[in-house]
Amino acid sequence: MPDMRNIVIPRMTAPEKSRAYAPQLLPKLTELLTTPLTDKEQAGGSMAEERYERIAVRGTSEQCQEFFQGDVYWTSLFYHNPPAFLTNGAPIVLPTEQRVKHILTGTSHKPDEKVGPWPVPADQKEFSVEKVAINAVMAGCKPEHMPAILAAAEMMATPAKSRVSSRLGGAHTLVGVISGPMGQELMLSTEQFSGVGYRANHSMRYAMELIGRNAIGHWGVRGEGTGGFFAEDIEHSPWTPLGADSGFKEGDNVFTLCVANAPNERWISPAWYRAHGRFLEKLVPELGNLGNSLACTVIIHPSVANDLADKGMSKEDVRQWLWDNTTETMGHYRDRTWFGIMNSLQRREGPFNRSEIFDLPDDAIIHTYKSPEMIQIIVAGIPMEFGYVAGGPLWLPAELMTSIDKWK
C-alpha cells in the first residue's frame, strides 16, 4: 500500500502527556479515516518483488567504489545530505567473484543456503550464505572469520519479537562477543571493544554493520549501529565462559549478539580499586544510574575477577550481590527518563514483566532489576580500566546466543 495514509503520533514518556495529545490528534485521525479515497489511493495491483543481480556492477575500481558508496533517493526524506546506502561511507574491499569464492572456503555451508529464521519483518530481505560472504569481503574479513560472521547474521535475522527496531534512525547499538577458543585462534582482542587497531575485531564489526544495512534493515545510519566486536577472555577468567552460563558446553564457540539502547559506560579507576579494594561497591551506583534499567551487562577485567574469585565469589555470587545491593525507591524509578518505555515492556508478559511493582507507593524500596539474571557478566577489558557497565532493554544473552561451530 504505497499510498496509505498515515499520521505521526509523538513518542511520549508519560501516560498523562500522551493523553494531553489526544484532543489534537483525534480530529486529524478522524479526517484521514473519513475523507473519501482519491483515485491514486484506490489504485490496486501487485508490487514487483525487488531482486538484486548477483553481480551488482561492472566497471573500474573507482567506479565500483562510487557505486557502493552512493546514496539512494529516499534517504533525502530524512537528511539534507543523504548518507551512503550500501556502506558507512568508507571505502570497502570490492567483492569480486574470486574474492567471494575464496572467503566461502571458510564454511562448509552451501552459498545458496538461507541464513536466519523466516519469515522476517517486511522491511527485511531474505539473505543467503553467499550474501553474508559478500558483505564479509567488503569488510575485509578472511575465510576463517566466516563461521562467526554467519552466526552473527543468524542472530541479526532473528524475528523482531526478540530484537529492537532496525529501521532508519534507531538509537540501538550492536556488540558481538565471541566466547570460546576461537577467540584466541582468530587473534581477537579481549581488550579493545570497538576493534580499532585489530584486524579481526574491526573487520568482523564492520561486517555486522554491512549485513545490517544490506540484508536486515539500516542499522547505524546515525552512527549508533554496530558498537563493537571482541572476545571473552576465557584464558584468564576464573569463572565459566559466557556460553556455558546459558547451556552450551565449555569448549564450544558461542556468539552473543548484545543489543543496547544508547548504552551507558562507566569505568572504575584502577588506583581507587587498588587503594580501597571495593570494586562491587563502586559498581552499585553505576548500575543504579543507568537510564534504561531493564537489564545490564558488567564487563570485568580478569585481574579483578580473579581477586573476587580468591575471596570465594563465583560469577553467580557476584550477580546476586549486585542485585541485592542495587535498590531504589519507586518514586525514583518513576522519575527515570525512559520510564514510559520500561513501563510498557514491564507490563507485558515475558522476561521483563514486573506488573506487581507499579501500584507501590513512591517511598517503597524496589530492586532496580527484576532478578539477578538481568545482570550479565563478561570477563574482558583492558588493565587500565577495570569495570565497564552498559544497559539495554534487550540485552539478554540466553536469547541472543548461537553456536559458531555449526557454521564451520
Q: Which residues pair with 2 in a beta bridge?
A: none
pLDDT band at 11; cut points 50, 70, 90: low
Do residues 85 and 70 make contact, with C-beta atoms less than 8 angstroms apart? yes
Contact 65, 92 (CB under 8 A): yes
Q: Which CA distances in Å does 40 have to 31, 44, 73, 171, 251?
A: 18, 9, 21, 35, 60
Phi, psi of 161 (to 5 degrees): -60, -25
pLDDT digits (tens, 9 = 90+) for 30-56: 999 999 999 888 887 776 766 666 677
pTM over 0.85: no
For residue 117, say if its preceding peptide bond is cis, omega within 30 degrees of 0: no
pLDDT digits (tens, 9 = 90+) for 85-108: 677 778 899 999 999 999 999 999
Q: Which helix (H) or strand (E) holds 24?
A: helix 15-34
Q: Percent of the chain at pLDDT above 90?
A: 30
The closest of 336, 331, 359 to 347, measured between CA atoms, is 359
Q: What range does the domain containing 307 cover?
A: 264-391
Give all strands of the β-sheet with 226-231 in edge-to-edge order. 226-231, 172-179, 254-261, 401-403
Cα–Cα distance, 407 to 395 (Å, whole number): 23
Residue 308 domain-assigned (yes or no):
yes
- 236 inside domain: no
Q: How far apart are CA 9 and CA 6, in angstroms?
A: 10
Q: For residue 111, what is its C-alpha cell?
A: 552459498
- Contact between 25 and 7 under an 8 Å Cβ cutoff? The reply is yes
Residue 283 lies in a domain: yes
Query: Is the distance from CB of 388 to CB of 260 less than 8 angstroms?
Result: no
Q: Is the pLDDT of residue 76 over 50?
A: no
Q: What are phi and psi of 230, to 5 degrees?
A: -150, 175
Could you tell me the three cell numbers for 4?
496509505
Phi, psi of 277 (to 5 degrees): 70, 15
Q: Classify residue 372: in a domain, yes or no.
A: yes
- Evaluate whether 198 touches 189 at the Cβ level (below 8 Å): yes
Give a yes or no: residue 379 inside a domain. Answer: yes
Number of domains observed in the structure of the chain: 1
Residue 133 lies in a domain: no
Residue 313 inside a domain? The answer is: yes
pLDDT tens digits, one per residue of 331-388: 988 887 767 667 777 777 777 788 888 889 999 999 988 899 888 888 988 766 555 5
Inside any domain, residue 55: no
Write the DSSP assignment of 98-142 as a string of letters: HHHHHHGGG-SS-TT-B-S-S---TTS---BHHHHHHHHHHTT--
